[in-house]
Amino acid sequence: MTKGSRVDSVPDRPNEAKYRGVILGAALGDALGWPHENRARNASGAPRGALVFQSWVKRSGGRFQPHEEMIPAGTYSDDTQLVIAVARSRLQQRRWWDYFSRVELPLWTIYEKGGGGATIRAAKSWLKGVAPWRGPATDVEKYFNAGGNGAAMRIAPHVLVSVDQPFDVAAKSIVVDSVITHGHPQGIVGALSYGYALWIALRNNSTLEYGQLIRDVLGNRSYWSNFPDVSDVWPDWYQIASEHDFESNWSLAVDAQTRQLEIGLNGLDAGALSVEQETLEAIGCFDKKILGAGTVAASASIYLASRYAAGPMEGVATGAFSKGADTDTLASMTGALAGAISGLDWLGSLVRSVQDYEFLSNLSADLQRVLPEDRPFDPVDSRYIGEFYRYLDGNGAVPIPPGLPKKAHAADMVRSKSDNLRARSWVLDGPGDQTLVIKKLDRPRTQNRQREDQDAFEFDESQQSQRTAEFAGVGLFAANIERSTAFYRDLLRLPVVRETPKLIQLGTHLVLRQSDGRVVAGTGTIVYIQVLDIRACVREFDRWKLDVPEIEQNGSRLSFLCRDPDGRTVEVFQR
């Protein structure tokens, strides 16, 4: 494809499956890859390579605020959180950049999961009401050195909203958004080239040939390599950027992006399976100095989406399990591209286990018909954040921005690792809403209170690596799953951590299932046990002279059913 050919034609608007595929593909890749990101500091020793979601424990806080967070299976990270925040901004305001920078991004600071340093710094600057390019000199310098993938990871909604218009419309939105957090061309060029790949894939109504996507991006460099005029939105931005070698750095970033894409294309032309990791390495995915760059994430995701256009899940899995890479972002961006290419079917049943599946599906549908409400809004500032925490503590009320969950309840999702640190957490959720987990770390008022909090959320690190099996939960059949959910969630205050059309998971160990009539509600309890080696477990049945169960396989998940001495059903599984 070359400039002036079909790239300029007006296509049919992509079908709903592509909109859902982009948003859900991004979330699935994010949730699959996040536990394996080096920065995530996964303390659970969870296995790599299985196409299932797994719960895990995230270590955070460094020396001064050491704590651990429980991450339920299927949870997405900052990548999807920011995609949602951008999408919500597009739906709320025609001047969406004001809403994103003054409401969504500042509020994100209290519920972010795994956010990158540049994005968090910028968000905190906006929280103070200061654009990051207008702050103290040292902060401004950091901002113009920020070329990470935090901009590229979130720009898909801009492409979805303007996919039936020339790319320069989406390109301007991408840059207006990118500079809210990132001032270095490496981050902005990466966002533009990735956005162009999304735009091309969404507009394509025929089967993409092997390698076609990456060839189209390279062949139409002029579409994504120019910096659009954003002076009507950010009047002083370019002038300030010019004082930080922006023009020369822009040329270097475009050249780097081109070179990395060419490496990907050469890897495709080589064809051998053995060159895949070599290609990702040559692009820079495992180089600690540049692996987080926007250009690297764009090139690698375009390469994987091109290579696996006929089998998208394999491409997403490759990104998610590429040890040493920025796995959540790589898998998320690859997943969004796969959705733009192939729609929804490739996601299979696994996607229904992604956090907030219903909410994400509805959000993608809303992006097909954006009619901003343009209601007046108040910026989120430090005072608002203080009021929000007081609201979570049960003191007073606070207005919650549109599109965010309105119900809040305390939850034991965080554990302090220091006697001098108190960790508390809350869940905001609701039927069909996004799920937010908010934590607060502070000094305990009394030592006794701290010890009480510690006992509420137990981990036994010393035994984690020695266990060959662990209790995974109890499943209860309910006559009316909505009524039962209300009992455990609203009356007993268990947090809903996962919701699918067939089941509700509350807390870490309770699963409610709707009875289909074959099982009498109130009976039919199922105990779930996860083992490391299911075949070794089956051999034990033979050694104990018990009926040997038959192992069943569903995808990569192995399981069997048996009964305990009291007749309760036990499902044993390995994943």
| Measured distance CA(202)–CA(339) in Å, rounded | 9
Identify whether residues 357 and 444 lie together within a single domain.
no
Helix (H) or strand (E) holding 423: strand 422-429
Identify whether residues 153 and 35 lie together within a single domain.
yes
Kindly list the distances between the CA atom of residue 35 and the CA atoms of 45, 114, 163, 284, 554, in Å, as whole numbers in the listed order. Answer: 10, 10, 32, 21, 22
Residue 514 has what pLDDT? Answer: 80
Residue 11 has what pLDDT? Answer: 65
Identify whether residues 398 and 279 lie together within a single domain.
no
- Strand 422-429 with 436-442, pairing: antiparallel
CATH assignment at residue 357: 1.10.4080.10
| Measured distance CA(315)–CA(346) in Å, rounded | 11
Q: What is the 3-state secondary structure (H, E, C) of 324-368?
A: CCCHHHHHHHHHHHHHHHHCCHHHCCHHHHCCCHHHHHHHHHHCC
Per the listing, tokens 């070599």 go with 278
Task: Phi first, then psi: give them for residue 175, nearest 5 degrees.
Answer: -75, -40
What secondary structure letter does DSSP report for 558? E
Residue 264, domain member (yes or no): yes
Identify whether residues 429 and 525 lie together within a single domain.
no
Q: Which of 433, 455, 477 is the last residue of a domain?
A: 455
| Measured distance CA(436)–CA(413) in Å, rounded | 12
Identify whether residues 213 and 154 lie together within a single domain.
yes
Kindly list the distances between the CA atom of residue 121 and the CA atoms of 116, 258, 405, 520, in Å, as whole numbers in the listed order. Answer: 9, 29, 25, 54
Residue 310 has what pLDDT? Answer: 87
Identify whether residues 177 and 231 lie together within a single domain.
yes
What secondary structure letter does DSSP report for 100? I
Residue 51 has what pLDDT? Answer: 80
Identify whether residues 449 and 479 lie together within a single domain.
no
Identify whether residues 491 and 449 lie together within a single domain.
no
What secondary structure letter does DSSP report for 568? -
| Measured distance CA(336)–CA(26) in Å, rounded | 4
Residue 574 has what pLDDT? Answer: 82
Residue 280, domain member (yes or no): yes
Residue 147, domain member (yes or no): yes
Identify whether residues 207 and 316 lie together within a single domain.
yes
The verdict on whether residue 329 carries a ligand-binding annotation is yes
Measured N-to-C along each axis, helices 312-320 and 294-307 cross at an angle, to the nearest 10 degrees, of 140
The verdict on whether residue 569 carries a ligand-binding annotation is no
**Parent domain of 194:** 13-40+72-366
Identify whether residues 296 and 217 lie together within a single domain.
yes
- Strand 414-416 with 503-506, pairing: unpaired
Residue 60, domain member (yes or no): no
CATH assignment at residue 483: 3.10.180.10
The verdict on whether residue 328 carries a ligand-binding annotation is yes
Residue 450 has what pLDDT? Answer: 41
Identify whether residues 357 and 417 lie together within a single domain.
no
Kindly list the distances between the CA atom of residue 21 and the CA atoms of 27, 276, 340, 556, in Å, as whole numbers in the listed order. Answer: 10, 25, 6, 22
Closest among 184, 172, 173, 29 to 100, alpha carbons compared: 173
Residue 88, domain member (yes or no): yes
The amino acid at residue 145 is: N
Burial of residue 414, with CB atoms counted within 10 A of its CB: 0-12 exposed, 13-18 middle, 19 or more buried? buried
Instruction: Kindly give the parts of the chain with pLDDT less than 70.
Output: 1-12, 38-50, 271-274, 445-473, 487-488, 490-501, 506-509, 516-524, 564-568, 575
* Domains: count for the chain: 3
Residue 531 has what pLDDT? Answer: 76
Sign of CA dihedral 310, 313, 319, 323: negative
Q: What is the overall mean pLDDT for the chain? A: 87
Kindly list the distances between the CA atom of residue 338 and the CA atoms of 27, 213, 311, in Å, as whole numbers in the listed order. Answer: 12, 11, 9
Identify whether residues 350 and 242 lie together within a single domain.
yes
Residue 59, domain member (yes or no): no
Residue 338, domain member (yes or no): yes
The verdict on whether residue 484 carries a ligand-binding annotation is no
Residue 223, domain member (yes or no): yes
0.85 surpassed by pTM: no
| Measured distance CA(42)–CA(212) in Å, rounded | 37
| Measured distance CA(241)–CA(301) in Å, rounded | 28
